[in-house]
Structure 1
Amino acid sequence: MRQQSSNIIVGTPGQGLHEITDRVLAWVAQAAIEEGLLTLFVRHTSASLLIQENAAPAARRDLERWVAQIAPESRGYEHDDEGPDDMPAHLRAAITATSLSIPVAGGRPVLGTWQGIYLFEHRRAQHRREIAVHLFGE
């Protein structure tokens, strides 16, 4: 068994789903591990990771609107150190995921036809997000 680990840095322009599938595929390809398990972990409390449809932009927009309704921006939160989008960003990250595990077969992540990997930025301002990647296998 072998393993590889690294970080993928993603600059976000602000809130929303930002597809990182191509970057993950490129990293897995260079790792040269044919069969195994890929783990992605976002090292932030106001961003998350999702596997979501990558064909219809409307699906992503609907998801973004739904999450915003579940954890709306308001002045009613006690934790607002960085502004009105601070606590909602933490809530949005809490109801989504900070890590993903994806099987790898044939040197590629095993994703469905319409599945893409996304960094979900929950803050309005642009950020530099770090995703730890780890691949274990042979």
Structure 2
Amino acid sequence: MWHQTELILRPHPRGFHLITREVVAALPELASLRIGLLHVFIQHTSASLTVNENAAPDVRRDFERHFNHSVPDGWAGFEHTQEGDDDMAAHIKASLLGPSLSLPVRDGRLALGRWQGLYLCEHRDRGEARSLLLTLTGEP
């Protein structure tokens, strides 16, 4: 079985946002799979995806502080500055974290660890609606 759908996420402010529920809600077909894979791809260059802590919000805040310290907005060495101080830094952060995730499916659910969740990593000050391409494959 193969299934593909697009999920449009509402705009989020800069930061790391849990989106596990939205992804699962967009895939009712997930419940019919015994075993499979879900590939999640973000169709943008200034936001990214990752999997990490799903319970403690301070983890998401610490991620944001770390990346802002490591790749500061408005660094004097950036040439690509036409779209604002946060633009080039957002592209670098998105490349470091990556545009996609491959997640295991088992018994109709994502086989995430107890404390794992999917993050939308919004690297712009004012993020736009973000498009995710969700591709599900597996056996019923």
Does TM, scored on the shorter chain, surpass 0.5? yes
Identical columns (%): 43
Work out whether residues 36 and 137 of structure 2, in 8 Å CA contact, stay in contact via their aligned partners in 1: yes
Question: Aligned partners of 2:127, 2:100: CA distance in 1, in Å?
Answer: 21
* Residue in structure 2 matched with residue 45 of structure 1 by the alignment: 45
Give the TM-score of the pair, scaled to structure 1: 0.94
5 Å-filtered alignment, 1:104-123, equals 104-123=105-124
* Residue in structure 1 matched with residue 22 of structure 2 by the alignment: 23
Secondary structure of 1:127's counterpart equals coil
* Residue in structure 2 matched with residue 80 of structure 1 by the alignment: 81
Q: Deviations over 1:21-65 (max 9, x none)?
A: 011222333343331010000000000001010111111111110
Offset at residue 12 of structure 1 (A): 2.3
Secondary structure of 2:67's counterpart equals helix
Give the TM-score of the pair, scaled to structure 2: 0.92
Count residues with an aligned counterpart. Answer: 137
* Residue in structure 1 matched with residue 34 of structure 2 by the alignment: 34
Question: Aligned partners of 1:71, 1:34: CA distance in 2, in Å?
Answer: 41
Computed over aligned residues only, the root mean square deviation of the Cα atoms, in angstroms, reads: 1.2
Work out whether residues 17 and 60 of structure 2, in 8 Å CA contact, stay in contact via their aligned partners in 1: no
Question: Aligned partners of 1:104, 1:28: CA distance in 2, in Å?
Answer: 12
Question: Aligned partners of 2:94, 2:39: CA distance in 1, in Å?
Answer: 18
Gaps of 5+ in 2: none
Offset at residue 112 of structure 1 (A): 0.6
One-letter amino acid of the structure 2 residue matched with residue 29 of structure 1: P
Work out whether residues 10 and 129 of structure 1, in 8 Å CA contact, stay in contact via their aligned partners in 2: yes
Work out whether residues 49 and 117 of structure 1, in 8 Å CA contact, stay in contact via their aligned partners in 2: yes
